[in-house]
Structure 1
């Protein structure tokens, strides 16, 4: 029924214009942000899932840093033990020389034992100077049952425990001097045992490093897979958004045209009165 007091056609056209304009704004926001979910009302469940996936990626990214730091610490400790092993081998050589009968007591005490004693001091120096972020690695409690988090749960950790190293623990009193043939013979057995101890410690650290390497690979795979899953939930399909935007844009233009036409309807009806 044509009336002039209420323009129902214009109201209807305006309603569709508002709807289409809102859809167009939402699609433009998705296109500009690259996100499928601009606001929670777009997909509340998807937003919750996507946010949790992103949180997992954040945790795994930090886990990568934990693994890298753990590996660096172990490499530092292993490098120090390698140097200690070299020192012990030189001490073994000196003890073997001092135990031989062609060496005089003066040579043992003044020459060989002097270097031997200095090498013991060098072991102590290596132990005390091997640090990471101000923490000593081969002595103290820093690497005693330390745990590196490598997962998304508090139970996902790698435990590392490195044996404390000291000159006293390696050579003791029996290997403290090679000033005589007798003490040199005793030192040979002690140092041989010390070399075996350091070798075992290095093997243990190597096993830890291998564990860290495999853990790092697993973390990298998790980051890749979870990031892909998060992308499916949160990221906008640009082609689809562009297609929808084009369709909504046409409808918006049609709504504008319809509203323009509807706004002129009362004037058209007035022409009927004027004609009368």
Structure 2
């Protein structure tokens, strides 16, 4: 029924224009952001899952950094332990020389001077092996667990052995005669064994952190792929929706313009 009081056609055209314009804006925002979910109403469940996955990825990225730092700590400690091992080799050679009857006590005093300095150097190396200003091999550092995952239980404990001269029972060793030189030789052999065991422990821990770093990298890759499937927009599909919405907006604008002309056309009946 043609009327001039209420333009029903115009109202309908406006409603569809608003709908189509909203669809157009939604497609534009998704394409511009690269995300399929630009507001919670797009996919509430998907948003919740994506948020959790994203938080796990962020935590794992930091865990990878933590594992790298732990590996660096272990490498620092192992480098110092290697130096201590070299010093012990030299000390063993000196003790072997001093324990021989072919040298005199006077010569042993010269040997002992180097031997004593090397024992002090072991403590210096153990104290100087630091990471983030914390000594690793002199027993003063405090080490806990390293976070290597996205859950509070995903931890690996760090362990370092005290390798200073006191811990290796070398401080009280004076090779000034054949008897003490022979006793020192036994102590040094034991110390070499202790350092070797400590290096084996450091190597085992380092290997574990390296494998954990590989696991973290794989997890990050897989979680990122899963999150992409949930969150990332299908550009081709969304572009098709945008093109459709643009056409509908143009059609609605044309329909609204035509509807607005209808009352004017009816007024001609009164002339």
Deviation per CA, 1:50-87: give whole Å up to 9, x if none.
Answer: 00000000110110011001000000111110000000
* More deviation, 49-58/94-103: 94-103
1:138 corresponds in structure 2 to: 137
**1:48-87 to 2 correspondence within 5 Å?**
48-87=48-87
**CA gap 1:70/1:173 in 2 versus in 1, 3 angstroms:** closer
In structure 1, C-alpha distance between the alignment counterparts of 2:185 and 2:36, rounded to whole Å: 73
**CA gap 1:13/1:201 in 2 versus in 1, 3 angstroms:** same
In structure 2, C-alpha distance between the alignment counterparts of 1:150 and 1:71, rounded to whole Å: 12
**1:254-265 to 2 correspondence within 5 Å?**
254-265=251-262
Q: Give the deviation of 1:224 after TM superposition.
A: 0.4
2:228 corresponds in structure 1 to: 231
Q: Give the deviation of 1:171 after TM superposition.
A: 3.1
Contact map agreement 2:63 2:147 (CA 8 A) in 1: yes
Contact map agreement 2:70 2:209 (CA 8 A) in 1: yes
1:188 corresponds in structure 2 to: 185
Q: Give the deviation of 1:33 after TM superposition.
A: 0.9
- Of 140, 145, 148 in structure 2, the residue corresponding to residue 147 of structure 1 is 145
1:41 corresponds in structure 2 to: 41
In structure 2, C-alpha distance between the alignment counterparts of 1:88 and 1:41, rounded to whole Å: 70
Q: Give the deviation of 1:157 after TM superposition.
A: 0.4
Q: Give the deviation of 1:31 after TM superposition.
A: 1.0
SS of the residue aligned with 2:167?
helix
1:20 corresponds in structure 2 to: 20
**1:149-228 to 2 correspondence within 5 Å?**
149-172=147-170, 176-228=173-225
In structure 2, C-alpha distance between the alignment counterparts of 1:179 and 1:122, rounded to whole Å: 19
Contact map agreement 1:28 1:245 (CA 8 A) in 2: yes
Q: Give the deviation of 1:44 after TM superposition.
A: 0.9
Task: In structure 1, list runs of 5 or more residues that go unmatched.
Answer: none
In structure 1, C-alpha distance between the alignment counterparts of 2:207 and 2:224, rounded to whole Å: 26
Contact map agreement 1:143 1:161 (CA 8 A) in 2: no
Contact map agreement 2:14 2:252 (CA 8 A) in 1: yes
In structure 1, C-alpha distance between the alignment counterparts of 2:138 and 2:58, rounded to whole Å: 34
CA RMSD of aligned residues (A): 1.2
SS of the residue aligned with 2:157?
strand
TM-score, length-scaled by structure 2: 0.97
SS of the residue aligned with 1:170?
coil
Deviation per CA, 1:22-48: give whole Å up to 9, x if none.
Answer: 110111111111111111111111111
1:89 corresponds in structure 2 to: 89
Task: In structure 2, list runs of 5 or more residues that go unmatched.
Answer: none
TM-score, length-scaled by structure 1: 0.95
In structure 2, C-alpha distance between the alignment counterparts of 1:128 and 1:141, rounded to whole Å: 9
Contact map agreement 2:14 2:256 (CA 8 A) in 1: yes
1:113 corresponds in structure 2 to: 112
SS of the residue aligned with 2:219?
helix
In structure 2, C-alpha distance between the alignment counterparts of 1:271 and 1:9, rounded to whole Å: 19
